Structure 1
Amino acid sequence: MSARILVVDDLAANVRLLEARLQAEYFDVCTATNGEEAIAAARAEQPDLILLDVMMPLMDGYETCSRIKDDPSTRHIPVVMVTALEQREDRIRGLEAGADDFLTKPIDDVTMFARVRSLLRLKAVLDELRYRESNSAMSGLGGDVHDDVDASARVVIVSTDPRATTRYAAAMPAQADVRHIHEPAAAIAAARDSADLLIVDLTAPDYDGLRLCARVRSDAATRQLPILAVVRPDDIQHAVRALDLGVNDIIHRPVDAGELAARARTQLRRKRYADRLRSHLDEGMELAVTDPLTGLHNRRYISSRLRQAMDSASNGGAPVSLLLADIDHFKRINDSHGHEAGDTVLRDFAARLLQGLRALDLAARYGGEEFVVVMPGAGLAEARIAAERLRSAVAESGFRLNDGSSVPVTVSIGVAQARRGEALDSLVRRADDALYAAKNAGRNQVQAADNAAA
């Protein structure tokens, strides 16, 4: 996969070397020679990833990374720190500044491209979620990847080394619910059980850790679960293979507790952010097709589903019928008891409507006090029976208002079955004509449209 990468280093020779390597793999490269330039370039260029040297004059890589991650316009960009430093304190400091990973000089090309591809895959997923969220019915998500640091989490640790498992568990956040698993099959089940992070020890000889990671990634229920893999420092091939399989991050043995804690926090923050984006998108999609007062589908959604059912019926599929219901004298309720009482009646009417439907029927508020029901697989006779059942359920007892009083309510209903090849507007018009016939005949009744072809 191609992407735009920002290379930041104060030494021109290092910049040229990295630029050449990346361009050879068809990456688009932009460059900066100090921290201020890097911050400005990140804002202006919006790269897909930043390779950031740690040791720079005036503003070092840690401060540069921290400022990039503090800026809402750039904090979503993965940052890989490039350093000659090997001390644990340096790695932890970088992770706490917001770095997503490290590359140690001299840089191994295989390792670099594996890490780059892994982070770019993650960013592509998050970018797609952010884009959809920004264009959804509920755009403007509150919060970001730095939120909920102290939130609880479910962590699954897979290792056959009890001492190592104990050390890994001790490094997890205090609020984490940690499960120790020794069998791959049990690990898959635990991962499906609302896990937030999976830590897999790839150094264990008792099971194939890479195969476990591959199964987690291939399972739809766990595909988005972050995986942190423990590898040997001299086993580059294993680490690269893990990253290519979709492991989110790797840490080398002997595992430093502070580094493990920092890497785990990073993965948990990312997952919470992605989960919030997905949840927000689900809410937005629900809002786009739902009437907020009654909780029923809205007119746009029901029209789309009705059109699908009519197309199926016209092509030899099951019949489809339409119920169009209108609450009788609804204006009187609003005028006599107020609009709050009217809203209460609409909500209770929707509840009674749903109680009498089949599982495959679709109900919607069509507008004002008018409701529709799409009945796939139902002919006119069956639809008329359902309409009469609804009429009776509404009329048999009054609707209780918030002040404790009760108001009598009735409904008039028009029913029509779709003709072969009929347009949606024609079906709705025939159901509407039947509805008005019911009203003109005295209300509180059901009338069916003539199903003979015009």
Structure 2
Amino acid sequence: MPGRILIVDTVATNRIVLKVKMLAAQFAVDVCATKAEAVSIIADNRPDLILLNLSDAVADQHSLCLDLRRTPDTSTISIIAVGVADTSRARFAALDAGADDVLPHPVNDALLLARIRSLLRVRSTSEELQLREGTSRALGFEEHKAGFDGAAKIAVLSLLTSGQNALVTGLRKGLRNTIHSMLPHDVLRSGAGQSAYDLFVIDAGEAAVGQSGLFGLVSDLRARAQTRLAMQLVVVPADKPEIAAMFLDLGADDVVPHTSDAAEITLRAKRLIARKRQHDKLRDTVRTGLNAAVTDPLTGLFNRRYVEPHLARLADQSRKSGRELAVMMIDIDHFKAVNDGYGHAAGDKVLIELADRLRENLRAVDLVARMGGEEFLVAMPGTSVTDARLAADRLRALVNTTAFKLADDQPPIKITVSVGVAVSGRIKAEASAINKICAQADKALYAAKSAGRDQVAMSKSAA
């Protein structure tokens, strides 16, 4: 789904150029010149990411960055500082003010778009985890206790030996953690120990990247179960922004020019480690606090108890951002005939397989739940009427185009579902708003059933 971007720049020409580029990339865009205007826009139409010119000779821009980071409601908005001088000192100052990344003038278009995509992925993951933590608190589970994190485990992956590598020396001095140095592809053969790494620092600054296999290394680390949650910081050639863009699109969390000083690289590493720790704690909260009480034991999906408070949080998020929320009610057609004809064990297999298909074909931020019996709910934040219709048709096709396997001595059977979809307008603050959306989706589901089943029916929510 396209994100919303706010451009803050005192120079009208800069605002126009950036707006044209962002619109061409299919983002929704707001523009302004001052901190006061930005604060007003953020309150009315919260952006996913801000492009902020920190080279302006006004203190407002730096204070805006600091204020956003210090305010809980805006702390997850991604910020890219643009127009900053291309020096390590200037980049460090922008990062220290709260920017997620710094792109000096002139901004390379490919690198800018790759960085935006990377930060929006991070923001989606962070918000999904925070939403689930908030839901666990609403359900009465104990908040995660702060504890001693211990030293981070960091690996520098470089073709240089530890003694030759100034990167290793600088990180050891700045982080005061144990730094393991190894050849890049040794980490893929290092066995179970690799799961303990918090951060991989990949030295591609002076390597022949295309021949070294470092592109493949980044994607391999992100794809493997043992290393996919570790952060990745890639040191890249300073004069090749297209290489930096490629690393970001392959899964790197951050890139830094090889000409950067140790202070900047250390700051970026510290921030990635802090993000990893936060995500780990939020995941632990979800696993330990919610699973037993709010998970359907058959399908592993969230159950009805979880749905109500989490939908309320999604609705509140939708109201603040001004973006739509789609709710789908999905019901298996003629499910009683499956139980009667093949037995309840076969019916359970159908429910489990349907749950897997839904879960594997939706975003992390989407809510998938079993409401009871053969009825499922899907909630998709930031989803327009058109996108909701396309998603519902896609999910319906995922069910009816591939038969469901039962027991070994039984042939696969065809299953279909009916889907009712409601999409909110601007959500009102009253508590009943989310109930209205669900009622609209239920009504649409009934219409799909009445019209012959195995189809999608839409209903524009009045919420």
Fold conserved (TM > 0.5)? Answer: yes
- Report the residue type matching 2:180 in the other structure: R
CA distance in structure 2 between the aligned counterparts of 1:107 and 1:28, rounded to whole angstroms: 20
- Report the residue type matching 2:178 in the other structure: D
Alpha-carbon distance change, 254 to 34 in structure 1, aligned in 2, over 3 angstroms: same
Within 5 A, what are the aligned runs for 1:392-411? none
CA distance in structure 1 between the aligned counterparts of 2:55 and 2:148, rounded to whole angstroms: 28
CA distance in structure 1 between the aligned counterparts of 2:148 and 2:11, rounded to whole angstroms: 36
Q: TM-score under structure 1 normalisation? A: 0.60
Alpha-carbon distance change, 72 to 141 in structure 1, aligned in 2, over 3 angstroms: farther
Runs of 4+ displaced beyond 6 Å = 147-150, 311-314
In the TM superposition, what is the alpha-carbon distance from 1:87 to its structure 2 partner? 2.6
* 1:244-296 C-alpha deviation (Å, 9 max, x unpaired): 10101001112410000110111111111111111111122245269xxxxxx
- Report the residue type matching 1:47 in the other structure: P
In the TM superposition, what is the alpha-carbon distance from 1:21 to its structure 2 partner? 0.9
Equivalent in the alignment of 1:10: 10
- Gapped runs of 5+ residues in structure 1? 291-299, 302-310, 319-454
* 1:369-405 C-alpha deviation (Å, 9 max, x unpaired): xxxxxxxxxxxxxxxxxxxxxxxxxxxxxxxxxxxxx
CA distance in structure 1 between the aligned counterparts of 2:340 and 2:284, rounded to whole angstroms: 32
Match 2:236 to one of 223, 231, 240: 231
Equivalent in the alignment of 1:154: 153
CA distance in structure 2 between the aligned counterparts of 1:282 and 1:90, rounded to whole angstroms: 41
* 1:150-207 C-alpha deviation (Å, 9 max, x unpaired): 8521111101213224334325422x22211114133563773311111111243484
Equivalent in the alignment of 1:249: 254
Equivalent in the alignment of 2:133: 133
Which of 1 and 2 has greater Rg? 1
* 1:69-123 C-alpha deviation (Å, 9 max, x unpaired): 0111111111100124123221111112221101111222111101111111111
CA distance in structure 2 between the aligned counterparts of 1:172 and 1:148, rounded to whole angstroms: 23
Equivalent in the alignment of 1:417: none
How many residue pairs end up in the alignment?
303
Equivalent in the alignment of 1:387: none
Alpha-carbon distance change, 151 to 47 in structure 1, aligned in 2, over 3 angstroms: farther
Matched, 1:94 2:99: no
Matched, 1:315 2:343: yes
Equivalent in the alignment of 2:118: 118
Alpha-carbon distance change, 150 to 101 in structure 1, aligned in 2, over 3 angstroms: farther
| Contact persistence 2:53–2:82 (CA under 8 A) | yes
Alpha-carbon distance change, 10 to 208 in structure 1, aligned in 2, over 3 angstroms: same
Equivalent in the alignment of 1:47: 47
* 1:393-427 C-alpha deviation (Å, 9 max, x unpaired): xxxxxxxxxxxxxxxxxxxxxxxxxxxxxxxxxxx
Alpha-carbon distance change, 93 to 111 in structure 1, aligned in 2, over 3 angstroms: same
Equivalent in the alignment of 2:350: none
Alpha-carbon distance change, 314 to 58 in structure 1, aligned in 2, over 3 angstroms: same
In the TM superposition, what is the alpha-carbon distance from 1:241 to its structure 2 partner? 1.0
Which structure is richer in relative contact order (CA contacts within 8 A, separation 6 or more)?
A: 2
- Gapped runs of 5+ residues in structure 2? 296-304, 307-338, 347-463
Query: What is the identity percentage for the equivalent residue pairs of Structure 1 and Structure 2?
Result: 30
CA distance in structure 2 between the aligned counterparts of 1:140 and 1:127, rounded to whole angstroms: 20
Equivalent in the alignment of 2:227: 222
CA distance in structure 1 between the aligned counterparts of 2:148 and 2:63, rounded to whole angstroms: 20
Within 5 A, what are the aligned runs for 1:22-37? 22-37=22-37
Q: CA RMSD in A?
A: 3.5
